Amino acid sequence: MKIFNTMTRQKEEFKPIEEGKAKIYVCGPTVYNLIHIGNARPMIIFDTFRRFLEHRGYEVNYVSNFTDVDDKIIKKAQEEGVDSGEISERYIAECKKDMEGMNVRPASTHPRATEEIDGMIDMISRLIDKGYAYEAEDGTVYFRTKKFKEYGKLSHKNLDDLEAGHGRELKVTGSGGKEDYLDFVLWKPKKEGEPFWPSPWCDGRPGWHIECSVMAKKYLGDTIDIHAGGEDLIFPHHENEIAQSEAANGVPFARYWMHNGFLNINNEKMSKSLGNFFTVRDISEKYDLQILRFFMLTAHYRSPLNFSAEQMEAAEAGYKRIATALETLEFRIGKTGTTEATGEEKAKIKEAEDYVSRFDEVMEDDLNTADAISVIFELVKFINTNTSEESSKEYLAALKDELVMLTDVLGLSFVSEETLLDEEVEKLIEERNEARKRKDFARSDEIRDELKAAGILLEDTRAGVKWKRV
């Protein structure tokens, strides 16, 4: 299996620290609001990578954090007049709902920054003892960037160039006592109304970068196999993680670095000021979140991806093409009177196994999900061409199992149309009618949305409500 290593800028054969096992850390969201579709891309990409590793027999320890103490969380809490913990708890719960909708499996561990403060204080103390960090007069602790000689090796940035033209990116406003412009914060003093923890330097809270270093170390070890995230995190976040982790632990931090490309909206960068900022929850009001997942996998993860209504409609059509093939197989399995496969059918089953080999081959080439989807479409065409209601149950079931296995590796789930029985649909429609009579339009809309999610389309006519499966 080959993956593109951001550190070396080339594809490399994946060789884990321990044979048959993979230790992966993926930077998670800062939980101050609903997650947006930019957050969704790394969640979906690296969940798919994890699934494929498991498909290939690896035992995966997958750690993805929640940053639950941050300026944005504090600001949101102050605006609402509540404790910052209430904000983070609320949006962790909402994030998990969206992850479930996108079929992103829970991590092996979802550590929270606020629960790992002791480990952060220990690592900062070690860095001070080794001369890599120092305390300023106000209690702020900084990392001596220039003391770490390999600083810039991930982002391929030169320290002199950073100092001349990009130092502003690392500057911490409102903090004095820095020895060097490029030094970054490990610990900062509390401000009025902010959460804080006691430390040897002052009552305060950690800097952002130290959080991930400590959580990766605690749950995966001093050296991990793969560290992943969006390419916007390469500098300064991941660069700083490397510096402080390797300075503290004395060993390489991660053997491979994987980064997904940016997500644009109608060929523009997503931003609230442009009015093109979409949360995952926004998308769920128009599309099943499985369509969003399918869309995210239609391009190579390192490529920039453009989100648009047209692209989502194309993704929906592709997703439904696979769903229809599965539904047809299920229908034919239920109707056929033949049990055992014929000799010709057994040969076809053997022929279809080639699609699995090709799927694995493209996925092993740096997680090429776009080509993997193309292989699945070829399998769908094979199924549509080579099955009928006269096919045997054994043959149909074998093809269905193969298709389900490959789509499951991509994290794509397909709900059978029979999930809601006709009588259940009629019961919900009757409840909706009663809600409308009571002018409880919120419940009426809720039922409509529930039915839509189950593939039931309602049409209000003069003769009453008509419905159909779509």
Do residues 247 and 170 both lie within one domain? Answer: yes
As a whole number of angstroms, the distance between CA 301 and CA 308 comes to 17
Q: Decide if 270 is inside a domain.
A: no
Q: Decide if 114 is inside a domain.
A: yes
Do residues 367 and 459 both lie within one domain? Answer: no
Q: For the chain, how many structural domains are there in total?
A: 3
Do residues 36 and 183 both lie within one domain? Answer: yes
Do residues 436 and 318 both lie within one domain? Answer: no
Angle at 266 between CA 265 and CA 268, to 5 degrees: 65
Beta strand residue intervals within 27-177, DSSP E: 59-64, 133-135, 141-143
Q: Decide if 298 is inside a domain.
A: no
As a whole number of angstroms, the distance between CA 293 and CA 296 comes to 5
Domain ranges, residue 89:
2-260
Q: Decide if 289 is inside a domain.
A: no
Do residues 115 and 227 both lie within one domain? Answer: yes
- Could you give phi then psi for residue 301, rounded to 5 degrees? -60, -25
As a whole number of angstroms, the distance between CA 53 and CA 63 comes to 15
Which strand (E) or helix (H) includes residue 21?
Answer: strand 21-26
Q: Under a CB-based contact definition with an 8 Å cutoff, are residues 390 and 345 in contact?
A: no
Angle at 23 between CA 18 and CA 25, to 5 degrees: 160
As a whole number of angstroms, the distance between CA 303 and CA 296 comes to 11
Q: What is the pTM (predicted TM-score) of this model? A: 0.86
Q: Decide if 322 is inside a domain.
A: yes
- Could you give phi then psi for residue 217, rounded to 5 degrees? -65, -45
Q: What is the 3-state secondary structure (H, E, C) of 223-252?
A: CEEEEEEEHHHHHHHHHHHHHHHHHHHCCC
Q: Decide if 341 is inside a domain.
A: yes
Cα separation values, 351 from 120, 264, 355, 379, 382, Å: 55, 40, 8, 10, 10
Q: 223, 239, 260: which is the final residue of a domain? A: 260
Do residues 83 and 191 both lie within one domain? Answer: yes
Cα separation values, 467 from 420, 435, 458, Å: 13, 18, 5
Q: 414, 443, 461: which is the final residue of a domain? A: 414
Do residues 103 and 241 both lie within one domain? Answer: yes
| CB neighbours of residue 36 within 10 Å | 20
DSSP class of 415: -
Do residues 123 and 209 both lie within one domain? Answer: yes
Q: Decide if 276 is inside a domain.
A: no
Give me the CATH number covering residue 321: 1.20.120.640
Give me the CATH number covering residue 174: 3.40.50.620
Give bridge partners of residue 206 from the DSSP assignment: 187
Q: Encoding tokens for residue 191?
A: 């401000």
Do residues 339 and 352 both lie within one domain? Answer: yes
Q: 217, 241, 260: which is the final residue of a domain? A: 260
C-alpha distance across the termini of the chain, in Å: 39
Q: What is the pLDDT of residue 420?
A: 56
Do residues 25 and 170 both lie within one domain? Answer: yes
Q: Under a CB-based contact definition with an 8 Å cutoff, are residues 227 and 259 in contact?
A: no
Do residues 131 and 13 both lie within one domain? Answer: yes
**Closest Cα to residue 304, out of 242, 344, 365, 261?**
261
As a whole number of angstroms, the distance between CA 235 and CA 162 comes to 11
As a whole number of angstroms, the distance between CA 228 and CA 4 comes to 11
- The per-residue pLDDT string of the chain (470 residues; one tens digit each, 9 = 90 and over) reads 999 999 999 999 999 999 999 999 999 999 999 999 999 999 999 999 999 999 999 999 999 999 999 999 999 999 999 999 999 999 999 999 999 999 999 999 999 999 999 999 999 999 999 999 999 999 999 999 999 999 999 999 988 878 765 444 444 433 468 999 899 999 999 999 899 999 999 999 999 999 999 999 999 999 999 999 999 999 999 999 999 999 999 999 999 999 999 999 988 888 777 777 899 999 999 999 999 999 999 999 999 999 999 999 999 999 999 999 999 998 899 888 889 999 999 999 999 999 999 999 999 999 999 999 999 999 999 999 999 989 999 999 999 999 999 999 999 998 654 455 667 788 888 888 888 888 888 888 888 877 876 778 888 877 778 787 66
Q: Under a CB-based contact definition with an 8 Å cutoff, are residues 419 and 454 in contact?
A: yes
Following DSSP, what letter does each residue of 292-313 receive, concatenated?
HHHHHTSS-TTS-EEE-HHHHH
Do residues 86 and 175 both lie within one domain? Answer: yes
Q: What is the pLDDT of residue 177?
A: 85
DSSP class of 179: S
Q: What is the pLDDT of residue 470?
A: 62
Q: Decide if 285 is inside a domain.
A: no
